[in-house]
Amino acid sequence: MKSYRFAITVSACALFAACSNVGNVDPSALIKSGQMATQAATLSDADVRALTDKSCAQLDSENKIAAANSNYQKRLNKIAAQLGDNINGTPVNYKVYMTKDVNAWAMANGCVRVYSGLMDMMNDNEVRGVVGHEMGHVALGHTRKAMQVAYATSAARSVASSAGGVAAMLST
């Protein structure tokens, strides 16, 4: 795997270095584009785990979390008991965000969050269906795929903007 990453990185750098002689091209932006393309191609499960650990911690710090003895958390625990305590071997951490927003999501690191607004408008079976759906995205690797698409899209935009002119205006 390391030789694969190295080959992609060297190829991208060589290509971008060759293109840097073209007028109006920003070589540093091309190098950045190559790095993003490499990240997209070589994103590992460990990378996804680290990124989702950070994201979940940040979101938890920005939202009010229901107390462990609250009716919301007790209800979610009852629902969660039927969904299981892991996704493909990754332990699941269920919490409720106290907000009127209607939402739920799951991350590749097992972070599952349900908003109290969703719980207020749905019965247990409906909440279980929504949370199970979100967990299915994780089980099928959709988080990793979405991250790869985001890196690849950023790389493509960076290449376009490095060219200057109309391409740069269209990429922003």
Active site residues: 134
Residue closest to 145 by CA, chosen among 104, 92, 108, 93 = 108
Helix (H) or strand (E) holding 90: strand 90-91
- Radius of gyration (C-alpha) of the chain in whole angstroms: 21
Token readout for 117 is 């607004």
Cβ neighbours of 4 (radius 10 Å): 10
Give the integer Cα–Cα distance in Å for 46 and 70. Answer: 34
Beta strand pairing call for 111-115 and 93-97: parallel
